[in-house]
Amino acid sequence: MKAENTIDMNAYFAGGCFWCITEPFYDIDGVIKVESGFSGGDEINPNYEDVKAQKTSHRETIKVIYDESKVDYKTLLDTFLNHVDLTDDGGQFIDRGFSYTLAIFYNNVDEEKIIRKTIKEIENKYNIKACVSVLPFKNFYIADEYHQDYFKKNKEEYLKEMIESGRRKNIQN
């Protein structure tokens, strides 16, 4: 049970297909909910078909709602970074185009500092150039219910997507 004086926080990550990056966050104590949607663009109330077809300036994004008394932002950031290909500037795995490129949307200066420091450490450790946009949060539009918790509602299709996309090498239950 949460303490009365805690406030639910939100973290926003664009990591390619939002179906494919939701599941890992549910294994983290303190994550309350993960919502699939669209963020970063200027169009109001974008829809899945337009975002997927690259007709907007939005990216597929997840909103991680969490209890900061149980989990910190850095843990969420690390989880995100461990489930994407930081060197791919054209999308993620089989999902191609701007709407599938990496972005982390920060809510404040502290988050921005954590993000930039973490990415720099990864670049130095692995001698790579990370292809991830670090941007101030400006909007989030939730996707239709069909897209929410896709991995729970469509387990077989989800596992097939994870394997065919290259995100998973084999089926893991």
Domains of the chain by start residue, with CATH: 8-158 (3.30.1060.10)
Token readout for 87 is 């060197």
Query: In Å, how far are 43, 66, 115 from 12, measured between CA atoms?
Result: 18, 11, 12
20 is catalytic: no
Tell me which of 17, 20, 84, 143 is the catalytic residue.
17
- φ/ψ region of 167 (left if φ > 0, alpha if ψ in -120 to 50, else beta) reads alpha
More confident residue, 127 or 5: 127
23-53 tens-digit pLDDT: 899 999 999 999 999 999 999 999 999 999 9
DSSP structure class, residue 25: G
User: What is this structure's pTM?
Assistant: 0.89
Predicted confidence at residue 29, as pLDDT, reads 96
